[in-house]
Amino acid sequence: MKIINKTHSEINGQAIIIAKHIAIDSEGADIIRIYGVPRGGVAPSYLVYGHLLEMTSSNVALVENIEEASVIIDDLIDSGTTEKRIKENYPNAKFYALFEKTDKDEWFNFPWENGVESTVEDIIARISQVSGASMLDTKIYLDRFLDGYKGVTG
pLDDT tens figures, 3-16: 888 999 999 999 99
Contacts of 136 (CB under 8 A, 6+ apart): none
Residue 55 has pLDDT above 50, yes or no: yes
Q: Which residue has the higher pLDDT, 134 or 118?
A: 134
Q: pLDDT-derived band of residue 2, with 50, 70 and 90 as boundaries?
A: confident
Residue 84 has pLDDT above 80, yes or no: yes
Question: How many Cβ atoms sit within 10 Å of the Cβ of residue 55?
Answer: 16
Q: How many helical (H) and strand (E) elements, i.e. helices and strands, does the chain have?
A: 5, 6
C-alpha–C-alpha distance, residues 124 and 144, integer Å: 14
Average pLDDT over residues 78-106: 91
Instruction: With cut-offs at 50, 70 and 90, classify the pLDDT of residue 153.
Output: very low
> One-letter amino acid identity for 148?
G
Per-residue pLDDT averaged across 59-87, rounded? 93
pLDDT at 114: 66
Q: How far apart are the first and last CA of the chain?
A: 32
- 105 by DSSP, 3-state: which? coil
- Nearest-angstrom CA–CA distance, 73 and 37: 6
CA distance 84 to 146: 33
Mean pLDDT of 46-59: 92
Q: Cα–Cα distance between 77 and 25 in angstroms, integer?
A: 20
pLDDT of residue 146: 66
pLDDT computed for residue 104 by the predictor: 81
Banded pLDDT at 40 (limits 50, 70, 90): confident
pLDDT at 147 > cutoff 70: no
| Average pLDDT over all residues of the chain | 84
Task: Please tell me the distance from the alpha carbon of residue 83 to that of residue 87, in angstroms, as a whole number.
Answer: 6
Residue 113 has a CB neighbour count (10 Å cut-off) of: 15
Give the residues across from 23 on adjacent strands: none
